[in-house]
Amino acid sequence: MTATNAPAAIGLHGLRKSYGATEVLPALEAELRGGEFTVILGPSGCGKSTLLNCIAGLERLSAGRITIAGREVQEAEPKDRGIAMVFQNYALYPHMSVAGNIGYALKVARVPRAEREARIAAAARIVDLGDYLHRRPSELSGGQRQRVAIARAVVREPQVLLYDEPLSNLDAKLRQDMRMELAGLHRRIGATSVFVTHDQVEAMTLADRIMVLNRGRIEQFATPQEIYHAPATAFVAGFIGAPAMTLLDVAGEGGWLRLSDGTVLARHRHQGAALLGIRPEQVLADPAGVPARVIYREDLGAHSVLTLQLGDGSRLQMAAGPGRPVAASSDIRIALPAGALHLFDPLTGRAFARHPVPSDAMKVQDDAIPS
């Protein structure tokens, strides 16, 4: 974080991690760019914490190398890696003030008192706790306590900040506030940040680039916009979006995509079996379209989400605006616009063709689509 140093990139080179016979991370290859906010996203048990702990030095690699700012660190002690970590369970010392908690690591490192106090004050200001330095943790809200935990990491002026689900214990409103604060913090200090979560909203809102992990493998490592608009695999498509993309088994023949019962779904030149993906918000009502039965309706206020059943029994979700209420167990007709269709190989899950990303949404090129 020191202003004179360029932000530290993190390189993962053939990184493997096994516990006994269980391989959790099978040979990861990736470059996390210096100064970027990388979110590692994936379902429970996919290896997110394991990967973060390997970067932090809390776990030993089974094979491979990790570089931070070009230096190999896989054999280095955690304290010598230039990192600081924020956990979900941020245990604060209850008998110490906010200042004492923030400055504890500096005290242990025998940083002189005057410098310590200046750094504590600066870190507290960054997380907006400047007026709370003398409080005890018990006199703070959950969000304020989490900010103390973040300040405790920031005060060490790390090159790299690692977060493992730091917002999971907070309520929905507080999580949203903290997302905004973390984004602001990242802009102010510019340290390379790696943030683990299984919450795709956190990933979409915080990340410069998202690494989507599935059973220890990188499914896609790209900007939120690319992940959303051009998912590289059916797994990514089915993980991102609230609700996520619907995936249907279809067959393409003679310019049409059909369900197994022969129902024509959409025009498309694909030949053969495919997984057809479509986002709920892109399904349209169309009196001349495909017949569907509304089997469930979730009213979310601003819009509702309909679960539809199609001719072959498969299900599809559709987001409907507030204008046209649709009753459950009514019959409707829908259209799947050609531009909204994503086709994936049913065997490998890979996209047959990548969708273009709207140009105004493009921040950085993705360069790590696994092959």
For residues 49 and 317, which CB has a smaller minimum distance to Mg ion in the complex? 49
For residues 8 and 51, which CB has a smaller minimum distance to Mg ion in the complex? 51
Q: In what order do the strands lie in the sheet with 10-19?
A: 22-32, 10-19, 63-68, 71-72
For residues 43 and 70, which CB has a smaller minimum distance to ligand ATP in the complex? 43
Minimum CB–partner distance for residue 236 and ligand ATP (Å): 16
Picked from ligand ATP, Mg ion, none, the partner binding residue 47 (CB below 5 to 8 A depending on kind) is: ligand ATP
Picked from ligand ATP, Mg ion, none, the partner binding residue 86 (CB below 5 to 8 A depending on kind) is: none
Q: Which residue is nearest to Mg ion (CB)?
A: 49
Picked from Mg ion, ligand ATP, none, the partner binding residue 19 (CB below 5 to 8 A depending on kind) is: ligand ATP
Minimum CB–partner distance for residue 212 and ligand ATP (Å): 12
For residues 46 and 250, which CB has a smaller minimum distance to ligand ATP in the complex? 46
For residues 22 and 365, which CB has a smaller minimum distance to ligand ATP in the complex? 22
Picked from ligand ATP, Mg ion, none, the partner binding residue 198 (CB below 5 to 8 A depending on kind) is: ligand ATP
d(CA 210, CA 59): 23
Calculate the CA dihedral of residues 260, 265, 270, 276 and round it to 10 degrees.
-80
Give the other-Cβ count within 10 Å of 198's Cβ: 18
Token pair listed for 235: 């797994």
Q: Please, what sign has the CA dihedral across residues 114, 149, 79, 29?
A: negative
For residues 48 and 175, which CB has a smaller minimum distance to ligand ATP in the complex? 48
Give the other-Cβ count within 10 Å of 129's Cβ: 21
Residue type, 28: L
On whether the CB atoms of residues 147 and 154 are closer than 8 A, the answer is no
List residues binding ligand ATP (CB under 6 A). 19, 22, 24, 42, 44-50, 198
Residues 42-81, mask of contacts with Mg ion (x by CB under 5 A):
-------x--------------------------------
Q: b/e per residue, 88-123, with b = 16+ CB within 10 A?
A: bebebeeeebbbbbbbbbbeeeebeeeebeebbbeb
Q: Which residues bind Mg ion (CB under 5 A)?
A: 49
